[in-house]
Structure 1
Amino acid sequence: MSIVRTAKITIDAAYLEEFKAALKEGVETSVRLEPGVKTLYATLSKAEPTQFTILEIYSDQEAYEAHIATPHFLKYKATTQHMVKSLELTDCVALVPEMKIK
């Protein structure tokens, strides 16, 4: 069963460009290298440019656990830890699980 969640992240405005670069590198690497990562779709709020939302979809729990143990994820966490003011993870249920991201 797929793991679906959203991550809502608020960062310190002083680190906006640094955070965007680290996030971009992290999600691109994860999607490219990890077969169990279906998507990590990151967005930035137009109204509040320090607020990010990431839609995370993993093929299963094992894929998620493998993801958070990868060197690139651990690098992202270590690099951005001081930039993050808040992080909210919400587990979700796909309403149409057979839908594919084109």
Structure 2
Amino acid sequence: MKKINGIPNILKVVLIALLVMTLNNAIAQNKKRVVRIARIEIDTSQIDNYKAALKDIGEASLRTEPGVLMLYSVADKIKTNHITVMEIYADSTAYETHRQTAHFKKYKETIKNMVRSLELVDVDPIFTGIKPDILK
């Protein structure tokens, strides 16, 4: 058996094939993900109540739903009643499951008179990344 750098050629071919299959699987799974941005305008008199409800739904979703991969909410610094939420779900089934949970239904009921406008935008990620030490 011919060897390159002490490793049999056949083993290298198998390792490369496994690496390619793993990368292809990761790419295919990413295409199934649901990535959505919600642009929300809140009644200015209700902003603190809305933020509390948003925090509650986010914590419950991440804690109890394996298909909810990421939730990130921010408020505009100038128009503080403008909220943007980025959501990433494992797939469309995870998104639909999320919409049927008791905590999501409670959130929708709680905020129904707080929201002045809501725009949901499905997006395709171009680049994602996070530094490994960000949580330190």
TM bin, normalised by shorter chain, reads over 0.9
Higher RCO (C-alpha under 8 Å, 6+ residues apart): 1
Alignment of 1:1-102 (within 5 A): 1-96=32-127, 99=129
- Structure 1 residue 101 displacement after superposition: 8.4
2:116 partner SS: strand
TM-score by length of 2: 0.71
Instruction: Say which one has the larger Rg.
Output: 2
Aligned-pair Cα RMSD in Å: 1.5
Consecutive unaligned residues in structure 1, runs of 5 or more = none
Consecutive unaligned residues in structure 2, runs of 5 or more = 1-31
Deviation per residue, 1:30-72 (Å, 9 max, x gap): 0111000011111111011100000000000000000000000
Identity %: 44
* Structure with more of its chain in strand, by fraction: 1
TM-score by length of 1: 0.93
Q: In 1, distance between residues paired with 2:108 and 2:100?
A: 11
* Structure with more of its chain in helix, by fraction: 2
Runs of 4+ in 1 over 4 A off after TM superposition: 99-102
Q: How many pairs align?
A: 101
